[in-house]
Chains A and B, each alone.
Chain A
Amino acid sequence: MVKLKYIVIVILAIVVGIFAYNHFFQSEESKVKKRFDLLSKWGSKDSVENKLITANRVNNIKTLFAENCNVQAPAYSVSRNYKPQDISSIALMVLSQYIELSLRFYDIQINIPEKRLANAVLTAKLSGKLTSDEYVNEIHELECVLIKIEDNWLFSEIKIVDVLEK
């Protein structure tokens, strides 16, 4: 009986140790990936979501961006530098046009050439239903640059890659 007690304690200690290790010693790649998870979470919208939750999401989104975020999207004529507040305003405008919206990221490849600089290449899929009942399904390849400021990775460049050039 005593032996069993020790075995349970050891197993618990191992589980807690693994959890603590993952929590406190996350790799920089995992931290960068987590920023994309948050952007996906806060950039999406449920059909039954109330306006307060949407406002909270929009407010959170700006915390993911650097003081100046350069967006390059030649095909959409939105290329310029954006402040976090601009990003929030745009996010609010976009989310209010959708009944439901899903923003997902796939195949995220992260390269950290310098201590406080990360490059990420990924596929972004945006799908949803507009308030006009029209369905939207957009897929783009993105090249992002994130900079580390006070232990937070922030988006400082986002470029839409033209996979298909008309």
Chain B
Amino acid sequence: MEPTYHNGGINFCWRLKYFYTKPSRQDVVVIRFAGKKVMLLKRVVAVEGETVEFRQGKLFINGNVIDEPYVRFPCDWNLLPRLVEKNRVYVVGDNRNVPIEKHDFGQVSIDRIMGVPLW
């Protein structure tokens, strides 16, 4: 999530954020793996029912280009359109300055979203 959040930094997670609501586009979320010791910080770029696509580094949702002011480093990612399934969101990190194959991103179940970073 560079440059928004630094690798190895300490963050607190606000777990009540999605008690009554669902994650929405541009939210930075905390994603769990098997437990609570190892987490990922990613940004939601699309929610269920939307189509995600990258063309020459530009993010397209439902065919419309999306402005991403939080992305500081340009990239040349290309990703064919894909539909976000029910009860899932599509997350991507802000650091796009790496090849697409080396970046962890994709659809994740909303059950795995623990909350949002406090700051």
- Interface residues in A122-166 by Cβ distance below 8 A to B read 122-123, 125, 139-142, 162-166
**Total CB contacts across the A-B interface at under 8 A:** 53
Is residue A106 within 8 Å, beta carbon to beta carbon, of the partner chain?
yes
In the complex, A123→B34 CA distance in Å? 5
Which secondary structure dominates where chain A touches chain B? strand
Is residue A121 within 8 Å, beta carbon to beta carbon, of the partner chain?
yes
- Interface residues in B64-119 by Cβ distance below 8 A to A read 79, 82, 91, 104-108, 112
Size class of the contact patch on chain B:
10 to 19
In the complex, A32→B104 CA distance in Å? 30
Is residue A60 within 8 Å, beta carbon to beta carbon, of the partner chain?
no
Smallest beta-carbon distance B2→chain A, Å: 13
- Do B35 and A109 have beta carbons less than 8 Å apart? yes
How many chain A residues have a CB neighbour from B under 8 Å?
A: 17
In the complex, A108→B34 CA distance in Å? 8
Instruction: State which of B33, B34, B35, B105 has its C-beta within 8 Å of the C-beta of A166.
Output: B105
In the complex, A88→B118 CA distance in Å? 45
In the complex, A125→B38 CA distance in Å? 9
Instruction: State which of B34, B82, B108 has its C-beta within 8 Å of the C-beta of A106.
Output: B34
- Do B31 and A163 have beta carbons less than 8 Å apart? yes
- Do B112 and A123 have beta carbons less than 8 Å apart? no
Q: Which residues of A contact B6 (CB under 8 A)?
A: none
Q: Which residues of B contact A106 (CB under 8 A)?
A: 33-35, 37-38
Smallest beta-carbon distance A27→chain B, Å: 19
- Do A107 and B35 have beta carbons less than 8 Å apart? yes
In the complex, A142→B38 CA distance in Å? 13
Instruction: State which of B38, B91, B106 has its C-beta within 8 Å of the C-beta of A107.
Output: B38
Interface string of B36-70 (1 = CB under 8 A from A): 11101010000000000000000000000000000
Chain A residue at smallest Cβ distance from B38: A123
In the complex, A142→B108 CA distance in Å? 16
- Do A107 and B33 have beta carbons less than 8 Å apart? yes
Chain A residue at smallest Cβ distance from B85: A165
17 additional A-B pairs beyond A106-B33, A107-B37, A163-B108, beta carbons within 8 Å, are A107-B34, A108-B34, A109-B35, A122-B34, A123-B34, A125-B38, A139-B38, A163-B31, A164-B31, A164-B42, A164-B104, A164-B106, A165-B106, A165-B108, A166-B79, A166-B106, A166-B107
Could you tell me which B residues sit within 8 Å of A by CB distance?
31, 33-38, 40, 42, 79, 82, 91, 104-108, 112
